[in-house]
Amino acid sequence: MEEELDLSNMTVEDLFRAKDERRKRLANLPFEEKIQIVKKLQKVSRTLKDVDRANAETDCANIESQIKT
């Protein structure tokens, strides 16, 4: 369980230190766990691309409809 950060008492240096510590913690994970994270990131990326494509199609349809009217 990760410790909750109290942002009200944090300095910019604390934030950078926390970020650095997180990076080091992730770097020290077993390779298998890192690959699981990569798979999750790939899934998120694919979902975002799908949403983006769907939005673009909707936008195109709206523009076409506005042109017609």
Partner 1 sequence: MERVLQTLNQMRADGVIEKYAIGGGIAAIYYIEPYQTDDLDIFIPVSAVSEGEAGLVSLEPIYSYLKNLGHQPVREGVLIEDWLVQFIPTFHSVQEEALQNALTISYGQTTTEVFSPEYLAAELLRSGRLKDLARVAALLDSGKVNKDTLHNIIKRHGLTEKWAHFVKRFAPEE
Where along the sequence are the contacts to partner 1 (CB under 8 A)? 23-24, 26-27, 29, 31-32, 34-35, 37-39, 41-42, 44-45
Name which of 44 and 63 has its Cβ closer to partner 1: 44
Tell me the closest approach of the beta carbon of residue 41 to partner 1, in angstroms. 4
Who contacts 10 (Cβ-Cβ below 8 Å, separation ≥6)?
18
Q: How far is CA 52 from CA 24, 35, 45, 49, 66, in A?
A: 33, 25, 10, 5, 21
Tell me the closest approach of the beta carbon of residue 48 to partner 1, in angstroms. 11
